[in-house]
Structure 1
Amino acid sequence: MNYDTNNFQKDVIEQSFTIPVLVDFWAEWCAPCRILGPVLEKLAEKYKDQWILVKLNTDKFPEIANEYGIRGIPNVKLFHKGKVINEFTGALPEHMIEDWLQKSIPSKFSDMIEKAKMLLAEGKVEDAKIILEQVHNGDINNGEVKILLAKILVYENPKESLRLVESAQLSNHTVELAEAITTMSKLFEKLENKDELEDNPVKAFYIEAIKDLRDKKFESALEKFIELIRENKAYDDEGARRACIAIFKYLGEEHEVTLKHRRDFGRALYV
Structure 2
Amino acid sequence: MIDVTVATFEAEVIAASMQTPVLVDFWAPWCGPCKTLGPILEKLETDYAGRFKLVKIDTEQEQELAGMFGIRSIPTCVLMVGGQPVDGFMGAQPESEVRAFLDKHLPSVDEVQAEQEQDEALDALADGDTDAALERLQHAVATDPANDDARFDYVKLLLQLGHSDDARVAFAPVIAKAAGSLRLGALKTWMDAQDASDAAGGDALAGFDAAIAANKRDFTARYGRARWLMAQQRWTDAMDELLEILMRDKGWSEDAARKTYIAVLEIIEPPRVQVAEGQIPPQDPVVASYRRRLSSVVLS
SS of 1:102's equivalent in the other structure is: coil
Residue number in structure 2 paired with 1:259: 288
Closer, same or farther: CA 121–161 of 1 in aligned 2, 3 Å:
farther
Aligned AA (2:264): I
Residue number in structure 2 paired with 1:8: 3
Closer, same or farther: CA 222–130 of 1 in aligned 2, 3 Å:
same
Residue number in structure 2 paired with 1:213: 230
Closer, same or farther: CA 180–57 of 1 in aligned 2, 3 Å:
same
Aligned AA (1:76): L
CA distance in structure 1 between the partners assigned to 2:67 and 2:259 by the alignment = 42
Alignment pair present for 1:130 and 2:135: yes
- Residue 216 of structure 1 and its aligned partner are, at CA, apart by 0.5
After the TM superposition, which residues 46-195 of structure 1 pair with which residues of structure 2 at under 5 Å, given as runs? 48=48, 51=51, 54=54, 56=56, 58-60=58-60, 62=62, 66=65, 70-73=68-71, 74-77=77-80, 85=82, 87-91=84-88, 100-102=105-107, 107-108=112-113, 110-121=115-126, 124-154=129-159, 156-157=163-164, 159-160=168-169, 162-163=171-172, 165-166=174-175, 176-191=182-197
SS of 2:59's equivalent in the other structure is: coil
Conserved? CA contact 2:152–2:184, under 8 Å: yes
From 203, 208, 233, give the equivalent of 2:250: 233
Aligned AA (2:284): H
CA distance in structure 1 between the partners assigned to 2:267 and 2:109 by the alignment = 24
SS of 1:108's equivalent in the other structure is: helix
- The alignment-based identity, stated in percent, is 14
SS of 2:224's equivalent in the other structure is: helix
CA distance in structure 2 between the partners assigned to 1:212 and 1:133 by the alignment = 28
SS of 1:51's equivalent in the other structure is: coil
TM-score by length of 1: 0.61
Conserved? CA contact 1:230–1:268, under 8 Å: yes
TM-score by length of 2: 0.57
Closer, same or farther: CA 164–234 of 1 in aligned 2, 3 Å:
same
Count of residues in Structure 1 that have an aligned counterpart in Structure 2: 231
Closer, same or farther: CA 72–247 of 1 in aligned 2, 3 Å:
farther
CA distance in structure 2 between the partners assigned to 1:129 and 1:147 by the alignment = 12
Residue number in structure 2 paired with 1:268: 297
Q: Deviations over 1:137-161 (max 9, x none)?
A: 3444434322211222345335335
- Residue 75 of structure 1 and its aligned partner are, at CA, apart by 2.3
Gaps of 5+ in 2: 5-11, 29-33, 72-76, 90-98, 201-216, 271-282
CA radius of gyration, larger in? 2
Residue number in structure 2 paired with 1:82: none
From 263, 268, 271, give the equivalent of 1:246: 263
- Residue 135 of structure 1 and its aligned partner are, at CA, apart by 3.1
SS of 2:56's equivalent in the other structure is: strand
